[in-house]
Amino acid sequence: MSSGQKVAIITGASQGIGAGAVQAYRKLGYAVVANSRHITSSADPCVLTVPGDIADPETGARLVDRAVEHFGQVDTLVNNAGVFVAKPFTDYTDADFDMVTGVNLRGFFSVTRPAVAAMLRNNGTRRGHVVNISTSLVDHANTAVPSALASLTKGGLNAVTRSLAIEYAACGVRVNTVSPGIIRTPMHAEETHDTLAALHPVGRMGDIGDIVEAIAYLETAEFVTGEILHVDGGQSAGH
């Protein structure tokens, strides 16, 4: 049975933005189901870690089942897990396609479908919230960062954000997306940081906190749905 505490599922939660999001939702008072392929257990009784590859179609349903079994409900889903492969388009392989679409699209579909179904079982007019993590490259292609597969998959997330936001607006489920620039995470080697910083009009890379703050804002912004929130140092505005 639900204790009344809100519950968030966060994918890609073992490091970077995902780990920051876990901390942010705990500060908001949420219990959290945290997922990544090799996530370790947490000493916090309000954080349930569930290892698994989100590209596996069974993982998404398992996350929702565990959230309901352990905490009683699902109120928020943060689709943070993602992979990025920067190559010239003609250099991409079928294996690249399968990996990127498996995480970025299949992973989204497999967890969001049962999560929204669970949210619709919640009482009240504010039943749930889905937050996706996209990339500014969808709106601001850059010759220095060839990224067709990122645009193909994350552009799909931007589009489905608006579609689901309208489909479920009257049901009390909001759907939003944060569209980051290049963020200082373990994905980027230290020696590349100066080059990556120069790709942003403000002259620096984003920090994990910049994205986590945007996620937290969307969580509390009850009148915002269908939003693609660019947190990209001005990239989407121009260069």
Give the model confidence (pLDDT) of 91-144 as tens digits. 999 999 999 999 999 999 999 999 999 999 999 999 999 999 999 999 988 888
Distance CA 114, CA 120 (A): 10
Quick check: 213 and 183 in contact, CB under 8 A? no
Q: Which tokens sit at 34? A: 């945290």
Helix (H, G, I), strand (E, B) or coil at 73: coil
Domains and CATH numbers, the chain: 7-179+207-224 (3.40.50.720)
Q: Looking at 21-108, which runs of residues are DSSP E strands?
A: 31-36, 47-51, 76-79
Sign of CA dihedral 34, 38, 41, 42: negative
Closest alpha carbon to 135 in 172, 176, 173, 82: 82
Residue-wise burial string across 50-60, b where 16 or more C-beta atoms lie within 10 A, e elsewhere: bebebbeeebb
Confidence of residue 145 (pLDDT cuts 50, 70, 90): confident
Q: What pLDDT, in 10s, does the model give residues 175-234?
A: 999 999 989 887 778 888 998 898 899 999 999 999 999 999 999 999 999 999 999 999
Q: What pLDDT, in 10s, does the model give residues 28-78?
A: 999 999 999 999 999 999 999 999 999 999 999 999 999 999 999 999 999
Beta bridge partners of 128: 173
Burial of 26 (0-12, 13-18, 19+ CB in 10 A): middle
